[in-house]
């Protein structure tokens, strides 16, 4: 039998530091709001449980022969990976057991799913997610991620889509789970940004950093320069300037991984409009808004062209957007060249 003290010594702590897991952190946040019902806490718990399940699936994907594509496409016309469908189903099933969830919407589904219409005085929520960001990287062992956003359900909305079409500034929580060399969960409920790492030996996300702050500067830009010739002139002027100033480029093809690096190291993430995608390619509700909330809560900036990203009023649940987000000074450099 293992010595429990030895097991504790193996955890990522320095002497005298308290051990906090995600559930304890969520309950502590809930205690800051005396009128809180606990509903949001249950939803965040379901999302973290989904992350643990998806993490296990990702790590055993080749062993269980769930790599590769299906003979189906999602609503955007993109070929679905097998793990796209598995991750999507996992989130739907985990959230389906939470009484406070009125509607769930996924990048992979054409229409939102209404779970409950009557809430008996509860304060219900809407949960939106990209189940597996960067899934085309999965076959080669690249990092992938899950992105989620939580909004309050609008009882006055005439139909489900209308309850989803809220500005990003209305989000009550947002986060992502990065499945890389370790499984990392980054979360905000509007009171700063916290980072957790999954310890698979105990099956729990442990708090490793609280009140994260993105560096104000960082000479790194992240974008797909393969599309550079179809970028608008302002973005090309910025890239010319950045290269002359000695900037480095880092781009993995997974938004979660690229923004996570910038959150920790500084820099700017770009997904400009192109001739093929003049409105941009990323999804406003499933990718742009939740990542923008995290970046802003960490002290950074997030824009869609010259407009603050979270001030956009969505007109469709699968609306696309361009993205500029990251360190304050680095975003300003891009905006200066766009002007």
- Strands of the sheet with 323-326, listed across from one edge: 248-249, 220-222, 268-271, 323-326, 301-304, 307-308
Angle between helices 328-338 and 233-244 (to 10 degrees): 130
What are the extents of the domains in the chain?
14-209, 220-338
Q: Which of 285, 47, 82, 53 is nearest to 164 (CA)?
A: 285
Blockwise average pLDDT, block size 10, the chain, 339 residues: 48 62 90 82 95 91 64 57 89 90 93 76 85 87 94 80 92 97 96 96 94 97 95 97 97 96 98 94 98 98 96 95 98 97
Residue 149 in contact with residue 291, Cβ under 8 Å?
Answer: no
CB atoms within 10 A of CB 293: 26
Integer Cα distance of 219 and 241 in angstroms: 12
CA dist 312 and 322 (Å) reads 11
Q: What is the pLDDT of residue 118?
A: 60
pLDDT at 1: 46
The predicted structure's pLDDT at residue 12: 53
Which CATH superfamily is 14-209 part of? Answer: Fructose-1,6-Bisphosphatase, subunit A, domain 1 (3.30.540.10)
What's the pLDDT score for residue 334? 98
Angstrom distance (rounded) from CA 18 to CA 199: 16
Provide the whole-model pTM.
0.90
Q: What is the pLDDT of residue 132?
A: 94
Strands (E), 203-253: 204-209, 220-222, 248-249
Which CATH architecture best describes the domain 220-338? 3-Layer(aba) Sandwich (3.40)
pLDDT for residue 55: 94
Q: What is the pLDDT of residues 110-158, one digit of tens each?
A: 999 988 766 555 668 999 999 999 988 888 888 999 999 999 998 777 7
Q: Is 131:109 a contact under the CB 8 Å cutoff?
A: no
């Amino acid at each position: 039998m293992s010595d429990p003290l030895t097991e504790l010594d193996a955890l990522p702590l320095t002497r005298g530091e308290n051990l906090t897991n995600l559930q304890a952190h969520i309950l502590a946040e809930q205690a800051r709001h005396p009128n809180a019902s606990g509903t949001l806490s249950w939803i965040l718990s379901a999302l973290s449980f989904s992350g643990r399940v998806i993490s296990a699936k990702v790590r055993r994907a080749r062993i269980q022969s769930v790599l590769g594509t299906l003979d189906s496409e999602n609503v955007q016309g993109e070929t679905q990976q097998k793990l796209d469908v598995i991750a999507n189903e996992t989130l739907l099933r985990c959230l389906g057991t939470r009484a406070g969830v009125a509607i769930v919407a996924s990048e992979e589904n054409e229409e939102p799913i209404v779970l409950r219409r009557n809430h008996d005085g509860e304060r219900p929520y809407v949960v939106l997610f990209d189940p597996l960001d960067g899934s085309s990287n999965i076959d080669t062992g690249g990092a992938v991620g899950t992105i989620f956003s939580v909004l309050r359900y609008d009882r006055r909305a005439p139909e489900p889509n209308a309850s989803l079409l809220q500005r990003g500034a209305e989000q009550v929580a947002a986060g992502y789970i990065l499945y890389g060399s370790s499984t990392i969960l980054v979360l905000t409920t509007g009171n700063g940004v916290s980072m957790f790492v999954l310890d698979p030996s105990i099956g729990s996300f442990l708090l490793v950093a609280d009140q994260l702050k993105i560096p104000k500067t960082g000479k790194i830009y992240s974008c797909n320069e393969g599309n550079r010739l179809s970028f608008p002139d302002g973005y090309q002027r910025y890239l010319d300037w950045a290269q002359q100033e000695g900037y480095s480029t880092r781009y993995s093809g997974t938004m979660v991984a690229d923004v996570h690096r910038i959150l920790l190291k500084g820099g700017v993430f770009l997904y400009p409009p192109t001739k093929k995608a003049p409105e941009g390619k990323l999804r406003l509700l499933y990718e742009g808004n939740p990542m923008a909330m995290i970046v802003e809560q960490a002290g950074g900036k997030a824009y869609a062209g010259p407009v603050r990203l979270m001030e956009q009023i969505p007109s469709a649940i699968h609306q696309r957007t361009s993205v500029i987000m990251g360190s304050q000074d680095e975003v300003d450099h891009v905006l200066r060249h766009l002007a």
